Every structure is written in structure tokens, then in C-alpha cells.
Structure 1
């Protein structure tokens, strides 16, 4: 469809003819007749940024999302001018810019289109707000698929959907409800099995339409701000996700205990109730590392206070819980109660740190404490002050983690559920209204909280969890998916949300296991635990208004199942910790949807249920009641059924029978899965010995194990141990070699190696070319052989 760009289209305005350009080092500015400037910046050969302004100049270039510590660089940048277009080329792609319309097409070097503008950049004057609604539309051929966008409660493949980004407190949200708590304006397109990404870094209310309104067109737009997006070329989905994750940043390594099981409820109080819960975990021997205190621990819901009635001696209680292996995590909300006798309120008032309305007075809203004012976390001075408030909680009382809630920001008793749009924000010196700051308010609160907890927890690592987040929040905080419901539909939603968050750069995420609102059946709770232990953040949380939601609330059978699966999670801690290491170093998502694992196989493009936990464990939850098993799609490769150890061929659909105390789990052949012994909490066993479960494969496979002191910052000085295990299986031989990097000395002396699926009878064993006295009766490789942890090569010889 050719449109005369001089004319308006449905009232929209378009760039006219490009008349000139200027080139800086890595940027080219194109100027049009009608004052539009398009700036094309090559950050990497595979990542190009596009910025547009319709006013003849660019505003200050500022973003909370971009990780400033990331280095960028490219190999090739050539610009050539032709009669009707410009051509910009890197070593991976080339860009065609049409002179007549400033429309853009991006192509592989052989000329294959990756993504091409339909109307391209256009805008609508918004006189109500005195700014522009900025729009972009691109052509989308049939068969193209879309993924990403953070916590959307809809099908993993976004084709045909229209989605909205406006952080919203959606209590008891349902499938397909829009918008939700988080804003991640990043999607991955998959076209002819080749992937690319678009990150639309604009914090205003924004929308994405994936061929919903118009067939064959994908568009995105925002209620203000700049048309500013990053194009990322794959062609592998993994490259797109990794590049985006590097662009918006990765967290530091969390302390190992945060990967344990956490128990939470609204609310555990008084102290006697907290102790009753923690003692019960130890009595039933269900491992647990963290206990959470919701808003009732405070004095009248005032942040940074303790209820004298419920928690008269918080420091003593926190110490006693710590002796029993429990770390205490407390909630902190943004609403500060208006109360002249309350020190936090008085300090903020004196320093003028609260958000104001456009005509001057402080923004006032109702939340749990009643009428509140709200700190402006977009002001660096306010963040610094807020960070300082954590001194008593963390340094003196000994709290180990902080949970930020209600930071969309949520306000009660108003239809919008949030601040009026005229509220003013500092925005790090780029003063603006709430229209622009709303979506990043929660992230800046989490950032300020992180800076405070980090300061006072040092030399230990901090732990923060947030409900609202914008792209880049993962640098400071973990998150959960908000107030879900105890229904089977929500079990499905949680599974999809976790996969989506993982490929949207926010790996450290979980859902409220069992559902927050309403009460799960025993069966639903058990199935949710079975899924939740395979999510990076693993926490049971409920509103508790319909009954209790501890594992023992559902009878003996569920206690057994919970124990079995939580124990499995604790055994897999070294595997999970290694996944985290790959995430923070290499930007590799911890959970991988099947389409990420094998984008070449069109069967994976619409799968929602199955995912990979790390690189080598395939998980498929049971998502409906009374199931005796389920159909699933096993991706390419050969896989061992974890429960039966049977080897199964992949790239096909199959029925897997399971009992109530199982879900389908498969291990990739050739994998070496590291395990620790079961502990009731991280650190209970001083030097947990490593056990390696080796799944035989004819051929080669690499596996990795990352270990360090489990907390603290020594790992940043090289004091870690990163082991690469290479497996090479032959018809009657198996070689396992070990290579270690890092200077951390693991506390155990030996490791146990167990081989599963060995196709031959063992005749002899050599360790580092030395024959070991081999006694068939005494040594059984299927049950495990104990060898020195520093071996270089293990050679198992068959008959």
C-alpha cells in the first residue's frame, strides 16, 4: 500500500522527503523537509538503534532501562547513497532507508528481508497533552510468530494479540487480562525460523499489536515521548535474548539461600505464629530457607516500624529464626502514612521528598496505612535517603531480604488504581509528569531499596523482590507475578508467565505457589509445588483469607509430595546456581520455552506447557485435575525419563503416564547433573558433597558446575570454581574429563559419580591413566563411585 506522505492518514502525520544527512562516528542523522530527524546508531553489527523526532531536535537522551556498563562495538559500518535510497551496512545486516518516506527495511546480507516498515514512523498530535502519540508499523508476513513482553497472562505466542503496557495492580487477574504489573516493551519476532528482536524503550503507556487490528501488520505506539527502538538481529532466538539481556543488564549473583524454598502469607503474626510455622517445617523435614512478614509486622502499616504488640523484640526473633536456618524477609511499600509523629514521614516532609501534583500540593492517596504521601524515587537524592532508611532493618535487626509491593504505584479507592497523571517527577533531572514516570516508578523504588539493602548487608549479598518492574529492573531485583488466583487456569498462566519473563531478560521470577486469592484444592497445591520448584524464585504465598496454605494444610499425601519435590529442588541447587551463573555472565535465560530450544522445528512455535529448566532438564507440568499422565512434545534429541531412566527419542509428541507424586521430567542424554545432599536449609551442611548423575550418550556432551562461597563478593575476585565436564561415550567405553577455572577451593574432597544408561558391563576403571583395582561386587557405577574431586579424566572400560 503506497501512501502519499504529504497527506494525512487518519489524521496521522508522516516524515516527508529526506533532504540531507550527517554522519558521526557510529550515528547517521537523516533530515526531512518537514522537520523530522531520524537517527540511526549502530551499537553492534547485530544491534541498531532508531530514534525519531518530529520537532527538529532531540530531547535529552536518557533511559533507566539501558545498562550503562555494557560495552558496544561493531566491525563494519558503511553508508552509501543511491538515487532513491540510502544503504547502511554492518557485518551482519544492511538497512535500506527510502528517501521519499524515510521508511526502513532491514535485510540479511543475502537480501532476505528480516523486517520492513509498512507505514513506518508516523505520529498524531495530542493537543490534550501537548505532545505526540508516536507510532510505528511494520509488515508481518503470514506464519510469523511473536514472543516476549514480560508478564502477559496469555498464550506464549503473541500472534493475533493486542497488548497494553501500563503497570497496574490487577488483583485476581484472569487469563488474557490487560494490562498487568510489569512493563517489558521487548518482543522477539520469528520469521521463516529466523529471529529478530525489537525493544521499544519508551516509558509512556504503550501498545503492541501483532496483526490483531490489521492482518499482515505489526505495530507499536506510545502516548508520548520518543519513537526510540532497538533492532536486534538473531538469527537465533538465543542471540536476540542474550543481546537484549546485555543491553538492559543482568543482576549480580544472588546468595544461594534465595534459591531455596520460601514460605509467605498475608500475614504471619504475632511472633508465636511465625515460630509455629518455622518449627513445623523443621519437624516435618520439608526444607525451607525464608519466612516472610507481610504488612501486619508494622505499627499501623508504617514502613520501617515494628508492631510492639506482635513483635516486641524483632532483633531477638530474627536471630532465633536465623539459628534455625530461617532468613527473615519483610515487606516495604511506597505509601508513607501522613502522621506528624512518624519519623519517616517527618524526614521526607522536611526534605521535600514526596511527589507533588502539578499545581503544588503533595500527591495524597489511600493505601494500607490510610492517607499517604509517596516518595519520588526518580529523584537520586530521594533514592539515597530511602537507601539509608534500611540501616536498622538490615544492619541492626538482621533482616535478610526486602519485598517491595504496591509499587505500580497502587492507590486504593480511585478508578485508575494509581496516581493522577499530572503528578510531577524529577526523573533524574529530566522533569516530567506521571504519564512518563508511572511505568518506571516501581523499578526506581526497587533500585533504591537494593542500594540500601546492599549497603547494610555487606559483605553479604542483598535480596530484593518487586511486584512492578520496567525493562532493566532485573539489575536490582527479583520479582513475582502478583496477586494470582488458586485455580487451574492460573497454574497454566504461571507456567507461561515464567517462560515469558525468562526470555524477556527478567530471569529471577516466580509465582505465588498455590495461588494468592482463594483456596486451592490439595491436588492443585501439589501440582503447583511440582511446577514451582522448577521456577527460579520459589515461594508459596496466599492471602490466607480462605484457609491456610502451608504444605501440611492439605493432608499427609500432599506433605509427602511437597517434601519430595522441595528436596529435589535442594538437591538441584548446584544445577540452579550454575544456570544463574550463565544468566548473569552470558545473558542466557534460565527457563527456555521449546521454541527457544529449537526454533527450526515449527512444532515448537505454539507450545506453551513444556520448557527447559537450564540446558538439560525438560519439564512438563500437569495442568488439569485427575490426570493419569499427559500428552507432551519432546523436542529434538534423546531424553531419559527421570523417573524410569528409560531413553526416549525426541522431536515427537507422546503420552507420558505419571502418578500423582510425579510430573513428566526428562534429562538430555549426555547430561551430567550436579546434586547436593538434601539440606533443611542452605548452609545446614557445611561442605555438601557433589554428586554427579551422568546420563550416558553415544557421542559428546558438555556440562558445567559453578560453585563459590554461596554468599559474599569473593566470586567477583576470581574466588569461584567453574567446572566443565566433557562426556564422550563410545560403544564400550565412557570418558569423562574435568576442567576447572577459578581459584575457589570447594570444601569437599571427593565426588560421587553415578552413571545412568550404561550400555555395557564394566570391566575396568582408570582415573588419570591409572588403573583402579576393580572389584565388581564392591564397585557399582550405576549406584555411584567415589573419586577424588580433582580428577582430570575418568575412563570406564566395558567388556
Structure 2
């Protein structure tokens, strides 16, 4: 009887353990499922960001079946840590896991997703280590945890795996020996006693990203001026020097919409006082007004660490962490009182006098700059969780200041994470590799963040122009001259071409504005990898032959699969293929369908690899068949609130086409109350072979910033 009783207890405990380690599933939106494993923590990425799903838009994406077998998703709780396992097929490729700079393919990676300054390796330590991945099979997974998350992305093979080889391969004699495992699982470790996670269906890869972005509130719709051109001036510039630089842009005919003031605008920086330096800016209110009257917005550099010199230091000090950053107090933004003190200072000293945005620096790393993991914060949120979310929180609460004024903003930040899709910030850093900047731009589309391949300085005019060209085809066209003082015209041999491309950025504003509207309303990333484009087929063969591998240098080296990391889609119709310094020609992989040269309208190919030799004066850009690119006249400033502009509608290709052009007042949040419209542009081919274009009439009672419309058929006959 005793043995039977013990057996019964053992069975009961086994059943309870199995039950406790079962995943609880709920479909929270069409095609989006929440899984709950164990006891998730109260503080997570979605709570820190305040992200709210756009339920209406998610409904429009449509329903879909669960993309995996739920039984194949497994959870274990060991030593107070949560282990998750997701199935992985042999030919499946993975994308995402944050803002990576050197690789698009993430299969066979071991990562620790940890907010940090990017250190030159794709190891998970980056500015936005978003714990989201997308599969080539058409689904995505998001881990909603504010912890440092470890990922084995198909690198570990269990001995009980169905694909464990029956016969091992002897390295000495065998030809197919590999140093890395071919795994059938993605394994994830979360250092907590439970976690909430989400599975996103496709079935198309782009639909996965739509669902993920809309689940996080949809992308931000910048003001029109945010899509213009920005110049960040030298750190110690005075108001007189800023005015002189603004006038130089005007006199030389270069567009300019907002100017970034670096640390010297403050009376004390590193750590900050968050008040104007009266020597450099004796009358900030008058200065800001003068700039606004000239059509120039001001964006201020900050990092959120409070100097003892700050007027509110004593008041906020009890609401800060145990450790300092550059000897500045670190506000605990989980505390309402800390938020009130800190952000009221920004509101009263800067935003209330007309400052239009912020550049939020140094909320990412390095470890020896930021607080250690042993630091304590008065809210009780751990130092690790604060590290993972601090950039999110500063974005969130500065955004709220502008939202309260019904005023859109657009700025820069050094750290973000899951949940940050809807914030008006573009990520930047101090890393300065042009090729890697483009790879980061591609990867940003897998993570719900924005990235700018900013321009700072160059060794030659060629490098300057090549960097500038790709900068124009990015979320924020910016020169960051905080140290160098570089101007668009600094390199005389390419100054006119730089002007031409900066004006092209302005001409394309209707296209960019609609592209960002689709990011907001439909969740479509404005800049994205070729893998998200229908008709794109990528080689999966091994690129590097074994004969080319130096086994003396690396005895475990292997060939890797080819990945396309130097061309990308910009909006629905444009394929951008940047040129890098020293390149005379390059290859471009065209998806299936007819593609045309952006500048000339010439047909260039259909679903094949082409070689282009564009010359220094052009960045290769191609338009898909039926592409409609709305453009406006070149202006030195973005259109003002409700300002009407004429449009040139460029049409490329042969097949009939339709384009929904977005319109609103360009600056406020009134679109959230219905003050916006989508105007349909149509181009069709008549029986006589002539193309005819039209645009739908403006809606009564809706904003209308469209003047005269001209249709230009770019396709050569």
C-alpha cells in the first residue's frame, strides 16, 4: 500500500509538472497567436513601450492558419529559466533577431540579444536586439521579454532528434563532414520563470512583417519635413553660426528642413543640464522662432543622464538608479514622478518654444559607459531589464510630449527594441562602414525599426557621393557633421551631383510620404530586403568552394550560402542597388517581372542577374512593371501645413497600373480623426497604344494638398 501511495504521488507530480510546462495558446488577432509559458514577468517589452495593436488593420490583413504544429513548440522550466524550442526544417532560412550589420541570413547563429553599441560582429549585441525572427517558410516569432535572451538559431542537435544521423561521418575519410550541426530546432533561453511570446502567420513573408508591425501599433508617419534633408552642425556652434550655415544652404540652393544641434546647445553636457547655454544661445526663444520663420526645424541632442548642474537634479536624484553614467543620475522612467520631473523640463525649456524633435544618444552601451547589471532602481525593475528598455522608454515619453501638442516629430535614437515600431525615431550609430550600413537598412525591415546610413565625412569626393546617394534612398537623409563640420558642398568635384541628389530626395517626397503611410496603416516596411519581394529567387548554393578555404587559419571553416545584402526595396516599386567606393560595375538580382531604369525608363531585364555600370553620377535604381512614382517640383523646404504642390506622375512599364496616393495636412495627428485621403492614380493603355493617366477627385471635407497633375510615361517605345 505504501508503494502504491508513493507511486500515486509520483504520478500526480508528473502530471502537474507536465501541465505546468504546457503552453497556453490564444489567437489574439487574425493570424496572431499568443503563447504563455510558465509565469511571465510583469515587466516586458510591450509594457515598457506601451505598444497597442492596430486591430482594425490586422483584421484587414486577413485570417490564416497556425503556421506550425503547436505540439512541436516546446517549453521547459529549469533552474528558474525558461527554455523554448521551435521546429526548423532543413531548407528553412531565418531572418531578423534585431538590427544586424553584416549578415541577412541568421540561421546557424548563436546570439545573445542584448542592447549595446554595435561592436563589429553580428552576435546579438546591437542597438535594437529585437527578439523577433521571420522564417522563409512564412511565419514569425516574437519573444516578449525584457531580458538578455540567448538564441541557438539551428545550431544545436539533440541526440533524440529525428534527423540525428544513423551513421556518423568520419572527418578523416568522409567527404561530407561538417563542423556545425544541421539542427531541426531554434532554441531560446529566457532567464525568467516564464515568458509570453507570439507567433505570426503569413503565408507570404511580407504579410508576416505586416502583422508584426501592426501588432506593435504600425509604423510612424513622419511629418513631411521629416522626410526632407537634415544637417547636424558642429558640437560648439553658436546661434550665429547656425544662422550662417542655414543661409549658406539657401544661397547655394541645397534643400534643408531641419538642423540638429549637438551637445553644445546645453549649458552642461556629459551629463546634461537640459538648459540652453546662454553664451552660445542668449535668446533661445527668439532663435527658434527665427528658424521656424525660415522653414527650419531644430532637433536637439540629449542623453538622459542628469548633471548635478541641472536645475532639477536635487528633485529627481531620489528617483534615479544606484549607479551613474558620466557621473550623471539615471532617472527611473518607470516612476511617474521621475517622468514628470524630467520630461516637464524638456517641455517647458524646449518644446514649448518651438523645438521640433530630439536625438537621443548613448542609451545603448558600451558596458563601461552604462550602469552594470548589479545596479538597482527604485521601481524594482532590474538593471538588465532597464538596459533592454531604456531607449524604448525615452522614445515613448518624448513622443508623448509632441502628441499632446498635436504635432508630429521625427528624430534619432541609439537604442530600441521590440514594441518600438510606432515611435518617431530612426536609429544611428558611430560605426561607419558603408556596405554594412546598407545591410543594416535591409535588416531593419525584419525588426520593425528604422535605420539611417548617415553621412559624416569621406576621404574622397567619390566616397562622399556614393554615401550620399544611398543616404537619399533611406528613412532619413542626413549629414551628421557634429565633429567634421562637413557640408554637402565640401567636396567641390561632386558638389553639383550631391545637390542633384538632395533635390531628387525632395522631388520624391510624395512617393516617400505614401510609402510611410503604408507603413503606418498597413504595416509594410518602407525599406526592406529582397526576400520580402514577390518573384525574388535567391541562390541557395554554397558560395565558397572548399578549395578556397584556408584550414590552417580556421580548421572548422565552411562554405556559406549566398545572401543578398547590398540591394533592397524602397517602397512598393523601387529596387535600389548602391555603389561603393572603388566600384565601377556591380551585379543586381532582379525579381521575376519586367524592370525598368528609374532615370531613363529603359527596360533592363526580367528575373535575371544583370551587370550595371552606372558611372559616378548615378546610384542604380530600377522600377517594376506598372510602377507609378509620384513626384513634386524640387523645393528647398518640405511643403508647409496644407500647402498645395503640383505633381508629376511618372509611369514605368507596359501593364495597366494603379497607385493609391496618400494625403493629409502633413504635420498634425488629425489623420487619426479621419482627416486624410487616398487618391487613386490610374494608368491604362488605350487601343491606339497611348497611355492615359488619371487621378481620382479629392474627397469633400478631406485635406487636399495636390495641385496640377501631369502624367509622364517613362517607358521607351
Q: Same fold (TM over 0.5)?
A: yes
Equivalence for 1:504: 447
Partner residue in 2 for 1:598: 534
Q: TM-score, normalised by structure 2?
A: 0.85
Note if 1:162 corresponds to 2:147. no
**Structure 1 CA distance, aligned partners of 2:13 and 2:103?**
41
- Aligned partners of 1:446 and 1:464 also within 8 Å: no
Give secondary structure in 2 for the equivalent of 1:373: coil
Shift of 1:437: 2.6
Aligned match of 2:390: 441
Change (3 A) 1:17 1:642: farther
Whether 1:303 aligns to 2:273 is yes
Bigger relative CO (Cα 8 Å, ≥ 6 apart): 2
Q: 2:650 aligns with which of 678, 686, 693?
A: 693
Q: In the alignment, which residue of structure 2 is the partner of 1:215?
A: 182
Q: 1:407 aligns with which of 363, 370, 387?
A: 363
Residue in 2 aligned with 1:353?
Answer: 319
Mapped to 1, the partners of 2:31 and 2:507 lie a distance apart of 39
**Residues 45-124 of structure 1 mapped to structure 2, 5 A cutoff:** 45-53=30-38, 60=42, 63-64=46-47, 65=49, 67-71=51-55, 92-93=65-66, 104-105=71-72, 117=73, 120-124=74-78
- Checking the alignment, whether the CA contact within 8 Å between 2:325 and 2:369 is kept in structure 1 is no
Asked if the contact 1:378/1:441 (under 8 Å) is kept, the reply is no
| Alpha-carbon distance change, 387 to 596 in structure 1, aligned in 2, over 3 angstroms | same
Aligned partner (choices 139, 144, 153) of residue 92 of structure 2: 144
Mark the CA change 1:497 to 1:96 in structure 2 (over 3 Å): closer, same or farther: closer
Q: How does 1:194-213 map to 2 (within 5 A)?
A: 194-213=137-156
- Residue 334 of structure 1, CA deviation: 1.2
List per-residue Cα deviations over 1:333-357 (Å, max 9, x = no partner).
1110124xx32212213xx3212xx
Counterpart among 224, 227, 234 of residue 192 in structure 2:
224
Which segment drifts farther, 297-306 or 390-399?
A: 390-399
Unmatched tracts of structure 1, length 5 or more: 1-15, 21-30, 76-89, 98-103, 106-116, 126-131, 356-362, 760-799
- 1:280 corresponds to: 248
Contact 1:551 1:558 in 2 (8 A): no
Name the stretch that deviates more: 625-634 or 36-45.
36-45
Equivalent position to 1:478, from 415, 425, 442:
425
> Would the aligned equivalents of 1:318 and 1:328 in 2 still touch at CA under 8 Å?
yes
Q: Are 2:489 and 1:552 equivalent residues in the alignment?
A: yes
Between the aligned partners of 2:421 and 2:199, the Cα distance in structure 1 is 21
Q: How does 1:168-567 map to 2 (within 5 A)?
A: 168-170=116-118, 173-176=119-122, 178-190=124-136, 194-213=137-156, 214-216=181-183, 217-224=185-192, 226-301=194-269, 302-339=272-309, 342-349=310-317, 352-355=318-321, 363-367=322-326, 371-408=327-364, 410=365, 416-425=368-377, 431-455=380-404, 458-485=405-432, 490-506=433-449, 508-514=450-456, 519-544=458-483, 547-554=484-491, 556-567=492-503
SS of 1:475 mapped into structure 2? coil
CA contact (8 A) 2:456 2:480 kept: yes
Q: Distance in 2 between matches of 1:18 and 1:549?
A: 69
| Post-superposition offset of 1:552 | 2.0
Unaligned residue ranges in structure 2 (runs of 5+): 1-10, 157-180, 541-561
TM-score, structure 1 as length reference = 0.76
Relative to structure 1, the CA distance from residue 254 to residue 73 in structure 2 (aligned partners, 3 Å threshold; closer, same or farther) is closer
Please say which of residues 678-687 and 467-476 is displaced more in the overlay: 678-687
Q: Aligned in 2, Cα 1:158/1:315: closer, same or farther, shift over 3 Å?
A: same
In 2, the alpha carbon distance for the partners of 1:503 and 1:157 equals: 11
Structure 1 distance, partners of 2:422, 2:304, is: 20
Q: Superposed, which structure 2 residues align to 1:575-654 within 5 Å?
A: 575-598=511-534, 601-603=537-539, 606-623=563-580, 625-654=581-610
Aligned residues: 652
Q: Which has the higher strand share?
A: 1
Q: 1:667 aligns with which of 623, 627, 632?
A: 623
Distance in 2 (alpha carbons) for counterparts of 1:666 and 1:642: 5
Distance 1:754 1:201, change over 3 A: same
How far the C-alpha of 1:740 sits from its partner, in A, is 5.1
Say whether the 8 Å CA contact 1:168–1:417 is kept in structure 2: no
1:288-338 C-alpha deviation (Å, 9 max, x unpaired): 111111111111213321112211122222222223222111012111012
Instruction: Give 1:453 deviation, angstroms.
Output: 3.3
Q: Which residue does the alignment assign to 2:548?
A: none
**Cα displacement (A) at 1:198:** 0.7
SS of alignment partner, residue 478 of structure 2: strand
**Residues 43 and 72, structure 1, Cα contact 8 Å, conserved in 2:** no
Larger CA deviation: 232-241 vs 209-218: 209-218
CA–CA distance in 1 between the matches of 2:707 and 2:135?
48
**Rounded Cα–Cα distance in structure 1 between residues aligned with 2:273 and 2:535:** 47
Query: How far is 1:237 from its partner?
Result: 0.5
Instruction: Note closer, same or farther for the CA distance 1:51–1:344 as it changes in structure 2 (3 Å cut).
Output: same
Please name the residue that 2:696 is paired with.
Answer: 739
Q: Which position in structure 2 is the counterpart of 1:25?
A: none
Tell me the distance in 2 between the aligned counterparts of 1:276 and 1:158. 47
Comparing 327-336 and 556-565, the one that deviates more: 556-565
Query: The residue matched to 2:392 in structure 1 has which SS?
Result: helix
Alpha-carbon distance, 1:590 to partner: 0.4
C-alpha contact 1:151 1:481 (8 A) present in aligned 2: no
Distance 2:112 2:208 in 1: 22
Q: Which string of whole-angstrom CA distances, capped at 9 and with x for unpartnered residues, describes residues 36-63 of structure 1?
A: 343112223522222211xxx5654863
Once the 2 structures are TM-superposed, how far is the Cα of residue 91 of structure 1 from its aligned partner? 6.1
Quick one: which of 26, 36, 42 aligns to 2:21?
36
- The separation in 1 between residues aligned to 2:351 and 2:381, in whole angstroms, is 35
Shift of 1:140: 2.4
Q: CA deviation at 1:199?
A: 0.4
Q: Deviations over 1:413-449 (max 9, x none)?
A: xx5432122333466xxx4311223201111122111
Report the CA distance between 1:757 and its aligned residue: 2.1
Looking at structure 2, the residues matched to 706 and 323 of structure 1 have their Cα atoms a distance apart, in angstroms, of 27
Asked whether the 8 Å contact 1:287–1:566 carries over to 2, the reply is: yes
**Structure 1 residues 18 and 558: alpha-carbon distance in aligned structure 2, compared to 1, 3 A threshold:** farther
Q: 1:736 to 1:17 in 2, by over 3 A?
A: farther
C-alpha displacement at 1:381, in angstroms? Answer: 3.4
User: What value does the CA root-mean-square deviation take over the aligned residues?
Assistant: 2.8
Decide whether aligned partners of structure 1 residues 59 and 533 sit closer, same or farther in structure 2, where only a CA change above 3 A counts: closer
